[in-house]
Chain A
C-alpha cells in the first residue's frame, strides 16, 4: 500500500525499454562475414550500402545461417542477387517501428466507468456482517471431506489483518492470468489446484505433515485484467507484497510465467538490502529480450536481471530444453552470471549430480531463496497440462525430492508454480502432480521449522522396515 514501491515499479517499466539492443549486438559479434570469391564476382552490381548489409549480421535475421545465405546467392544471377539483397534489406527495415504508421502505444478507454474495477479491493465497511480479523474455516466439520475447495484445504484469509492475526507462515494465493504468449488456460489453474487433493497432506519421506506444523491459509485470488498483463502487474505486486510484509511466505499459483516478474520483485523489495536467490525450474529460459511488448511470460527472467531486481549471479535455472534459447541467449546468461542447468547437462552427468550441484549453488548464494516452478519442467507424460510443454523433461521422482530439499535446506522467501493449463489435460494427473510438487516444498518449509534441515533428511522409520 505504500507509494514508493509502486514508483520503483513504474521506473522499472521505463527503464526496460532502454535495454533491448543487447542480443542484436551479440549476434553482430558472431557474424563477421567472408563472402566466397565465386560469389564476389557476381556482386559487382551491388551498391556499397548493399555490400555492407551483406557482410554484416542483418541478413541473418531473415536467413538462418551464413552458409545458407551463400547457397541462396550462389544459385542466383547478378540481377536476381540485386533483387534478393534489396528485398532482404526491405524486410529487415520493415521489422522495426515505423513512426507515424505504427501505434507506439495501445490506447485504452479512460471513459469506461469500470476502468479499474478488476483491482478494486472490497472495503471492510461494505461487508454485511462484521467479523474479527483472523483466518477462518469454510468447513462445517472438524475433519471435513470434500466441501468448499481451498488450497490445501486450508483456512481462508481475506486481508492483511487476517494474516497478522493468524500468525500466518504460508499464504497460498492464486493469480488466474493466461494472457502471455502461450495463452493456454493457465487462468484456470488456481481453481483446478484448489479442487484437487494432495497439497497439504502428510509427506512420508520426512513424516512431516505441513499443515500440522505451519499456519497455512488460502489467500484467495489476485484479480487481473484478462486483456492486459501490463495493467495487472502492479496490482499483483502490491498484493504479494502485502503478504510478504507480514512475514508470511507467499506461495503463488499462476497464471502464466509473466507473473514471475511482479512476484519476485515484491519478495525482493520487502528486504531490498538482502539479495535474493531465484531458482527457476522450467523448460523455457524466459529471458528473451524485450520485443514490441514490455511484459510477457517469455521475458520475465530477462526483465528481473536487466532491471537489477535480482543479480544474474543469484539466478539458477534448471531443466532448460525449449528451443527459444539460442547460442546468443546462453552467451547472455553466462555474461550475467546465471547458473543454468539444461537437460543436456542432465543427459551427460546424470540427475543426481546435477541436483547436488543445484543444492550447493542455492545454499552458497544468499540466505533468501525464491523458487519459481514452471510446470513445463516436468515431462509432458506426467504433466500434460502445461502451457508451453516440451518433451524430455524431469520426472516427478526426480523433481519432488529436490524441491523438498531446497525448501528444507535453504530459507524460502517465496514460491510460485506457473503455467499449469488444466484444459490441456482431461485427466486429473497434471493437477495432482502440480499439487504434489507444491506439497514437496511446503513440506520442506515445515521441516526447516522443525529443525530437520540436514542434508537430504529422510525419516528413518519410513526408509527401512527394520525387521533385519
Chain B
C-alpha cells in the first residue's frame, strides 16, 4: 500500500510537472507591456549610493517589473533611493530580493503537496453511495414525494442513472454545495435555499410555457462534497455530472461556488468529446486565473484549469458581464490571443445592452456546437443578488439577463447549465433566491421553446398585447 501510494504520488507529480510545463510553455501569459520595459536609468546624483551594489543587486533595481511592487513608478523609486544612505539602499534592494525569494516555492522548505491521511478508514466515506438493497425494492424511475418536502422545481426525485433513463428525463437538477473554492461565504447553502424557495419551473407569462409540463424534470439530489478540499470534490462532481449527461439528460447544477465550472465542463467534454462543447460564462469575473496561484483550483480559476487540462480552449468561450478589478490589460490581451470572445460591462456601456446581447446570440449561433451555460449570479447587480460571495457594482438587471438566457437556451443545443455563488446567509430576504430561480426558469423555458419548435424571439402573442385596438400595427408602419 505504501509503495502503491508512492507510485501514485510519482504519477501525480509527473502529471503536475507535465501540466506545469505545458502551462508555462503553451499558456504562458504574454506580458509584453511589462517584459518590454527597458532597464531603469538612474540619475547621476545616485551614482555614489549605487556604486557599492553588486551587479546582481543593480540589475534587480533596474528591473521595473520587479521593483514596481514597492515603488510603483520610476519617479517613486528614485525618490525612495534618494532619501536613503548608501547602506540603506543596499538593505533596500536586499529586502526586495529576499521577499521574492521567500515568495516563490523552494524545494525542501515548502510543501509541494497538501498531505492527506490515507490510513483513515473513512477516507472516501463522503462519496460512498447508499446501496439499492438497503431500501425496499422499487422500479427504477423518478419518485414523487409527498407535498411539503422541498425539491428543485417541485420535481420528483431521481437517485440513479437508471431512474433518469426509465423516466426519460430531459433535465436533472442537481445540487453541489461546495463552499470552499471561494474560501468563505456560504455558497454551500445555495442548493438548500433553491429547493425551499420555488419559482423555478411554473408557467412563464412571456411565452405561456410551463417548463415542468413540457419537460421531464427531476431533482437529482446533491453531489457529495469534501468541504475541506476543493480539489478532492472536483473528481466526484465530474463523475456525477457525467453520469447524468450520459443518459442524455441535461444536468442543471446548482452551486456551490464557481470552482464547479471545472468538473461540469470536463464531464460534458468526457461525454460529448473534445471540440464539441462550447461555453457561455456569465460573470462579473473572468475566472481564467492564468495559473499563477499555489492552488490548482479555486473559484477564480476554473477556466484556466479546463484549458490546462486540455478539456477546452479559449476559443470555446464566450464571456458576458465582466467588470471586476481583474484581469489587467495584459490579461485581456492574453485572453484575446487565446481566442476568448469576452463582453465586458464597458462594452455594454459603450454600445448598449441590446446590441451586445445580439452580438452574443449571433456568436453562439455561428459557433453552433453543444452549449454549456455557466451562470455566476454575481453577473447581476448586487441590488438583485445581495447574497453572493464576491459582488461587484454595476451589473446586469434581471430584465437584461432573463431574455438573453431564455434566447440562448432556445437557440442552442443545451447540454449543461450551472448557476453558482448563491450565498443565502448574505441576504436575509428572499430576493437572491427569487432572482436565481428566475434565471434557471428562463433557461428551462428556452429548452422547452426549442422542443416546441419556437424561434428564439418567440413571445406569446396574447400576452404581449391586449388587442383592443391596432396600436402596434399602426404605430410600426
Task: Show the binding face of A for B, using Cβ within 8 Å.
Answer: 13, 16-18, 20-21, 24, 61-62, 72, 80, 83-84, 87-88, 90-91, 94-100, 102-117, 120, 122-126, 128, 178-181, 183-185, 187-188, 225-231, 290-294, 296, 423-424, 426
Contact = CB atoms under 8 A, between A and B. Distances in A.
B425 interface: yes
A290 B110 contact: no
Contacts of B188: 183
A18 B102 contact: no
A231 B114 CA distance: 8
A291 B117 contact: yes
A20 B228 contact: no
B133 A183 contact: no
A111 B105 contact: yes
B104 A96 contact: no
B116 A126 contact: no
Nearest to B16: A107
A91 to B, nearest CB: 5
Contacts of B116: 103-106, 292-294
Interface in B237-286: none
B105 A97 contact: no
B292 interface: yes
Contacts of A18: 119
A296 B231 CA distance: 16
Interface stretch (B176-184, B325-333, B348-356, B391-399): B176-184
B114 A105 contact: yes
B453 to A, nearest CB: 46
B121 A84 contact: no
B208 interface: no
Nearest to A63: B134
8 contacts: A102-B118, A102-B124, A104-B116, A106-B114, A106-B232, A110-B112, A120-B99, A293-B228
A187 B428 CA distance: 20
Given A123-B95, A424-B425, A98 B124 contact: yes
Contacts of A113: 103-104, 292
Contact of A20 (B20, B119, B128): B119
Contact of A17 (B104, B119, B230, B291): B119
A292 B117 contact: yes
Interface stretch (B1-9, B438-446, B463-471): B1-9
Interface string B179-197: 1100111101000000000
Given A103-B231, A126-B92, A231-B114, A114 B121 contact: no
A225 to B, nearest CB: 7
A94 B104 CA distance: 38
A202 B381 CA distance: 45
A87 B128 CA distance: 11
Contacts of B132: 87
Contact of B183 (A91, A97, A187, A230): A187
A9 to B, nearest CB: 12
B458 interface: no
A128 B131 contact: no
B24 A111 contact: yes
A425 B119 CA distance: 39
Interface in B52-110: 70, 80, 88, 91-92, 94-96, 98-99, 102-105, 107, 110
Contact of B133 (A84, A103, A292): A84
- The 10 tightest CB contacts between A and B, nearest first, are A226-B183, A87-B131, A99-B4, A123-B95, A125-B95, A105-B113, A110-B105, A125-B91, A106-B114, A97-B123
Interface string B1-40: 1001101110011011000100110000000000000000
A181 B121 contact: no
B160 interface: no
A100 B114 contact: no
A288 to B, nearest CB: 10
A422 to B, nearest CB: 10
Contacts of B110: 110, 115-116
Contact of A95 (B123, B133, B291): B123
B120 interface: yes
Interface in B394-445: 425-426, 428
Nearest to B113: A105
B41 interface: no
A1 to B, nearest CB: 13
Contacts of A293: 116-117, 228-229
Interface of B: 1, 4-5, 7-9, 12-13, 15-16, 20, 23-24, 70, 80, 88, 91-92, 94-96, 98-99, 102-105, 107, 110-134, 179-180, 183-186, 188, 226-232, 235, 291-296, 298, 425-426, 428
Contact of A97 (B118, B180, B231): B118
Given A125-B92, A126-B96, A227 B111 contact: no
SS of A interface (majority) = loop
Contacts of A180: 228
A107 B296 contact: yes
Nearest to A297: B228
A108 B114 CA distance: 7
Contacts of B15: 107
Given A293-B228, A423-B185, 17 more contacts: A88-B131, A90-B131, A94-B128, A96-B120, A96-B121, A99-B1, A99-B4, A99-B5, A103-B8, A103-B116, A106-B114, A107-B15, A109-B291, A110-B105, A110-B107, A111-B292, A227-B180
A102 B99 CA distance: 36
A102 B123 contact: yes
A183 B4 contact: no
Contact of A116 (B1, B95, B104, B186): B104
Given A84-B134, A292-B122, A228 B115 contact: no
A227 B121 contact: no
Contacts of B5: 97, 99, 104
A188 B426 CA distance: 13
A17 B296 CA distance: 24
A292 to B, nearest CB: 5
A64 to B, nearest CB: 12
B304 to A, nearest CB: 11
Contacts of A105: 9, 12, 113-116
Nearest to A294: B117
A112 B289 CA distance: 11
Contacts of B226: 292
Given A83-B133, A87-B133, A95-B122, A103 B105 contact: no
Contacts of B12: 103-105, 107
Contacts of B115: 13, 17, 105, 230, 294
A108 B103 contact: no
Nearest to B189: A184
Contacts of B7: 100
A111 B291 CA distance: 9
Contacts of A24: 121
Given A99-B1, A114-B103, A296-B228, A226 B184 contact: yes
Contact of B8 (A104, A178, A188, A291): A104
B235 to A, nearest CB: 8
Contact of B134 (A87, A98, A292): A87
Given A114-B292, A292-B122, A178 B184 contact: yes
A2 to B, nearest CB: 15
Contact of A115 (B103, B119, B426): B103
A202 to B, nearest CB: 35
A105 B8 CA distance: 9
B120 A20 contact: yes
A99 B8 contact: yes
A468 to B, nearest CB: 50
Contacts of B180: 179, 183, 227
A294 B103 CA distance: 25
Contacts of B126: 292
Nearest to A123: B95
A128 B291 CA distance: 32
Given A99-B1, A109-B295, A20 B117 contact: yes
Given A97-B118, A185-B425, A107 B96 contact: no
